[in-house]
Amino acid sequence: MFQVALTGLLTGLALIVAVGAQNAFLLRQGIRGEHVLPIVLTCLVSDVVAITAGVAGLGVVLERWPAVLPVAQLTGGLYLIAFGVHAAMRAWRPGKLEAGEGAALTPGRAVLLTLALTWLNPHFYLDAVLMLGTVANSFGTDRWWFLTGTLVASVLWFFGLGYGARLLRGLFARPTAWRVLDSAIAVVMGTLGVGLLAH
């Protein structure tokens, strides 16, 4: 159980710790100290809804049509490997998060913008629903421990980035930090992808 939860934690972190619009926005707001809690909670609730739907929904499908599992594992494995390759390419040419200045936002506008950056991103559905749902269901009845691990990853990342942004600003502005992070992500995702294909 602990090993499955740890796998969920590492997989969840590997997926959400990436240079992207949502993380850049949260970092910006964290540095400014502006509406951090509503934004963090919006990110967390979105993850809980999407990942749980993926784990539960695919679980129901697999119970009724077990033959779907090998197809889902093949698709998920290839996607994870591709994700790992993409992370390795980012490590080769690292980027950085730009917090920016910009105008102040109202709490409502900050939440709406967070929702848009999350739910209008097609990769969110691929990662949270399809990919995590597939990996979780490869563990059978232990899939809920995997889900627990991924949700812990979301809590750690979003609260850590939101409230630690002022401390992390210098670190994440350096391409070297993202090179190390993306290299680790490439290893984790590649290993999981090969594991799914060999399962």
DSSP 138: T
Q: Write out the H or E segment, with its range, that includes residue 12.
A: helix 2-16
Task: Check pLDDT > 60 for residue 28.
Answer: yes
> Tens digit of pLDDT for each residue in 133-173?
888 888 888 999 999 999 999 999 999 999 998 887 677 66
Chain centroid to CA 171: how far?
A: 20
